[in-house]
Amino acid sequence: MSRVRVDCHLHTVASGDAVLTLEQLAERARQTGLDVVCITDHNVTSAAVTAAGRDLGVRIVVGEEIRTPDGDMIGLFLTERIPYVLPVAEVVARIRAQGGLVYAPHPFDEDRSSLGRVLPGLCAAGAVDIVEVFNAKIADQRPNERARALAAAYALPGGAGSDAHDAPGVGAAYLEMPDFDGPASFLAALADARVTGEYRPHAPRYPRRPARS
C-alpha cells in the first residue's frame, strides 16, 4: 500500500490570525512533499471547503479548530461548520454526527487554549479519537512528551501538525502513514504512522522596520 505525508493541523487567512493563502499552501505542500493537509481554521470551514473543491495538487481534509469553554478541539472530515463556545460534549457529538474524528490539538501547551485539564477524562470516556503528540509551534518539548504519554496510556493514535499560520511553517510536522480514503481508514492507518517534526515558530506577521540611521 502506498504511503502519504499528512499535516494534520494548519491555518489559512480565514482563521483571522494567519497569513497563509491557499495558493501559498499549495506551493509549500509541493515543496515539502506533503500529500494531504488538514485545513483546521479557527471556528470556520469556508477556506477548507473552497480548497477541497479546487485542484491544488494536494488533498484536503476539511477540519475546524473549535473554541470550547474547556479549550480548543479539532474536528476532522467535517461536512459543516460547528459553532464555537459550545460545551465540549456537544462539540464531540456534533463532530461524530458528521462522521468526523475528534482530534485534541496541543493539549498541554499552557500558552494556548488547550484541553489538558479535561483531556484525561475525555479519553477515558472514549470521546477522543486522536491526540496531537507533536505540534511544531511548541518550543519546549515537554508538552508534546506529555501528549505522547497520554495517548499511550489510553491506546489512542497520535497526530502531528505544523500548526502553520504562514507559508514557512507548512510541513514543519507531519505523519507518514498508509494512504486512506475517509475517516475510518484514516483512523485505522494511524496505527502504522510515523511522526516527523521540528519546532518552527511563526514568522512575524508585522516585521519590524529597520532602525533609521
pLDDT digits (tens, 9 = 90+) for 8-43: 999 999 999 999 999 999 999 999 999 999 999 999
Domain boundaries, the chain: 8-197
Sort strands 71-76 and 158-161 into parallel, antiparallel or unpaired: unpaired
Q: pLDDT-derived band of residue 204, with 50, 70 and 90 as boundaries?
A: low
Class of domain 8-197: alpha beta
State pLDDT tens for residues 185-195. Answer: 999 999 999 99
**pLDDT over 70 percentage in the chain:** 95
H or E segment and range at residue 96: helix 88-97
User: Please, which residues bridge with residue 75 across strands?
Assistant: 64, 102
Tell me 78's DSSP state. -
Q: Indicate if the pLDDT at residue 213 is higher than 50.
A: no
| Confidence (pTM) | 0.94
Q: Would you tell me how many other CB atoms lie within 10 Å of the CB of residue 112? A: 16
> Which residues 6+ apart lie within 8 Å of 24 measured at CB?
167, 170
Predicted confidence at residue 16, as pLDDT, reads 92
The number of angstroms, rounded, from the C-alpha of 145 to the middle of its chain's C-alpha atoms is: 17
Predicted confidence at residue 211, as pLDDT, reads 52
- 3 state SS for 135-204: ECCCCCCHHHHHHHHHHHHCCCCEEEECCECCHHHCCCEEEEEECCCCHHHHHHHHHHCEEEECCCCCCC
Predicted confidence at residue 1, as pLDDT, reads 73
Predicted confidence at residue 202, as pLDDT, reads 79
Pairwise pLDDT comparison (205 vs 68), residue with the higher score: 68
Q: pLDDT-derived band of residue 77, with 50, 70 and 90 as boundaries?
A: very high
State pLDDT tens for residues 152-175. Answer: 999 999 999 999 999 999 999 999
Predicted confidence at residue 60, as pLDDT, reads 98
State pLDDT tens for residues 122-139. Answer: 999 999 999 999 999 999
Q: Which of 107, 135, 109, 117 is nearest to 10 (CA)?
A: 135
Residues in the chain: 213
Q: Which of 118, 110, 47 is nearest to 78 (CA)?
A: 47
Cα–Cα dist 84/107, whole Å:
18
